[in-house]
Amino acid sequence: MTGKYDAIKAALKEPALNAQMFACRFGLEVKKHRVLTNGRASRYPYPANLRSRKHNVYLNSGYTDDMIDFETAPVVGSKRAVRHLKVLEQIMIAQLHSDERLWPLSMAPAPLYQNDLDYLKTAFTKPWDQANHDYLGKKYGIAQEILGDVHVNFSLNSDLVKELYQRFYTDRYDSLVDFQNHLYFKLAQSFYLYQWLFTYLFGASPVTEDMPHSFPDDLELPVRSLRCSNYGDDNLATEQVTYNSLEEHFTELQNYIDNGSFYSLKEFFGPVRMRRHNHDNNDLMGILKNGINYIEFRNFDLDPLSRTGISDDTINFLELLLLDSIVSPLPDNLAHRLAEARKQNNEVALQKPQEEADWMKEAANQLMAELQTFVAEFNAPREYRLALTFAQRRIDDPSLTISGQLADQIENGNLLSFGLKIANDRYTANIGYQHPLQAISDTYSDDVQRLIRAGIELGISVLLEDDKVVLSVDDHQEIYQPDEDLDLSNKDVRKFVLDAFPEARAFQEEPLEINK
């Protein structure tokens, strides 16, 4: 097997394959609370201009109407993915009332836990999803369901996967789909083995003194990440799913769905989900038959130190680990190592924020040396080297980790003052931007930015490319040039878009107020 990995490494140094290797795609899903400036849950209705929730894949409400779900379309590279998230945040913040803010932490603010949980249990206005909402609340409880977080959706370049199969794996796998499934699952296993390191580096939910909880009373707060521990966003202890092999993983998932333990794949809260774009979440065997084509990483707390909740460096570090896994074997004693990794992650999550055990530093530095070799061997772009430098500093000094920095901001057992200051600063910055969508103002004219904003608000599909913008509903497309002058500064842009896409009127949950 060593010879095969050497051959793969040689191939990945070829210019075409090397470029494909560093052309991974990322989609980001972020959940944040709308709160008031006093830290209470917002009781304002979900914004009227965004009430296309049955169809809107970019902006939606979550388990409660005060929770906002942001979701970006998959794009190449971390920088573009984060930029798209900034676009969505600016659109949402523009819809907030003057006393509303987006809360930057995974754990809700203390006043919400103290006063608003009973209200939030019923603050939900998506009747088409009411049954799932009620089921999850009854089974897991409101406190777990309102945790904020970040999910990173990752896919390899499809041409790279095909080339790897055709050149190196036709002797082992009967089809490209079979190889693709096992390759993505191997990446998931690699992440699972180092989940503890991501919790150490990026964990950011240290305190919940006012939260109804199921963790022991003698657990001493603050910790590194309650959300990433066994007491956080997890399935019941009796409904865990193995990562020992692809076949066992899917068999257990299917059994839980068949016996009613899970209502669908979406109820599986493991650190990594196997996914296929535009595929029924209940059809697990269909995912295997047609091929896993992306994986969803669910182990990230909101990073309050990054504007959108996740940084380019975090995504680039994740990407390096996954790419290195392509050219590295899994350990021989895999089942044992995976079981140990789960225990290690919980240990790290429940440590003091500025602690670091000797075994952690030793294992982290071994991995960092391996990733440094990978970066040098494959001449990785500069941003990956910066991501390693960033991670190494945190490994060397735990006070530089996110939770290590948050520990110094805790007052009266919570992060209320810290969180509100960040929320206020970001609200002020957003409403002061000079362009309709500041993050993409260097690429698109103000009129095209207004068009993009209206399309996203109305639930229309928006594709952003360097040389064009494509709005679409099903097979109906309208294409605009990046620098196009549409004379929209004094017009009702929503009406302009709805005139172009009259079918989108049916997406709206309430009658639209459109100037005639």
Q: How far apart are CA 138 and CA 145, in angstroms?
A: 10
Confidence of residue 252 (pLDDT cuts 50, 70, 90): very high
Q: How far apart are CA 209 and CA 1, in angstroms?
A: 51
Q: Return the amino acid letter for 352.
A: K
Exposed / middle / buried, residue 506 (Cβ in 10 Å: 0-12, 13-18, 19+): exposed
Query: Kind of pairing, strands 468-473 and 100-102?
Result: unpaired
Q: How far apart are CA 476 and CA 503, in angstroms?
A: 10
Q: How far apart are CA 110 and CA 112, in angstroms?
A: 5
For residue 510, what pLDDT is reported?
A: 67
The token pair at 477 is: 């497309």
Q: How far apart are CA 310 and CA 294, in angstroms?
A: 19
**Section 220-227 average pLDDT:** 93
Confidence of residue 220 (pLDDT cuts 50, 70, 90): confident
- What is each CA distance from 414 to 105, 170, 180, 408, 427, in whole angstroms? 11, 55, 45, 11, 21
DSSP 24: -
**Section 42-70 average pLDDT:** 96
Q: Return the amino acid letter for 489.
A: S
The token pair at 236 is: 């019941």
Query: Kind of pairing, strands 468-473 and 294-300?
Result: unpaired
Q: Given phi > 0 = left and psi -120 to 50 = alpha, else beta, which region is 273?
A: beta
For residue 242, what pLDDT is reported?
A: 98
**Section 320-336 average pLDDT:** 97
The three-state secondary structure class of 476 is strand
**Section 45-69 average pLDDT:** 96
98-154 pLDDT per residue, tens: 999 999 999 999 999 999 999 999 999 999 999 999 999 999 999 999 999 999 999
Which of 256, 227, 267 has its CA nearest to residue 131? 267
The token pair at 3 is: 């010879």
SS3 per-residue string spanning 179-243: HHHHHHHHHHHHHHHCHHHHHHHHCCECCCCCCCCCCCCCCCCCCCECCCCCCCCCCCHHHCCCC
452-470 pLDDT per residue, tens: 999 999 999 999 999 999 9
Q: How far apart are CA 32 and CA 457, in angstroms?
A: 18
H/E segment holding residue 60: strand 59-61
Is pLDDT of 516 > 60?
no
Which of 250, 316, 262, 326 has its CA nearest to residue 288? 250
Helices and strands, counts by H and E, the chain? 20, 11
Ordered alpha helix ranges (H), 275-351: 284-290, 312-326, 334-349
**Section 252-258 average pLDDT:** 95
The phi and psi torsions of 67 (rounded to 5 degrees) equal -95, 135
For residue 219, what pLDDT is reported?
A: 84
The token pair at 371 is: 């990733």
Which of 438, 514, 423, 460 has its CA nearest to residue 96? 423
Is pLDDT of 216 > 80?
no
Is pLDDT of 515 > 70?
no
Q: Are 121 and 113 in contact (CB under 8 A)?
A: no
Confidence of residue 1 (pLDDT cuts 50, 70, 90): low
Q: Are 269 and 261 in contact (CB under 8 A)?
A: no
Q: How far apart are CA 153 and CA 76, in angstroms?
A: 12
Exposed / middle / buried, residue 457 (Cβ in 10 Å: 0-12, 13-18, 19+): buried
Which of 147, 86, 126, 198 has its CA nearest to residue 435? 86
Q: In what order do the strands lie in the sheet with 461-465?
A: 461-465, 468-473, 476-480
For residue 85, what pLDDT is reported?
A: 98
Which of 177, 148, 151 has its CA nearest to residue 165? 177
Q: Residue 324, Cβ neighbours under 10 Å: how many?
A: 19
Instruction: Tell me what the pLDDT averaged over the chain comes to.
Output: 94
Q: Which residues contact 446 (CB under 8 A, 6 or more apart)?
A: 435, 436, 489
Q: Are 365 and 334 in contact (CB under 8 A)?
A: no
The token pair at 498 is: 């709805």
For residue 209, what pLDDT is reported?
A: 67
Is pLDDT of 187 > 90?
yes
Q: Are 284 and 256 in contact (CB under 8 A)?
A: no
**Section 164-182 average pLDDT:** 97
354-386 pLDDT per residue, tens: 999 999 999 999 999 999 999 999 999 999 999
Q: Return the amino acid letter for 277.
A: H
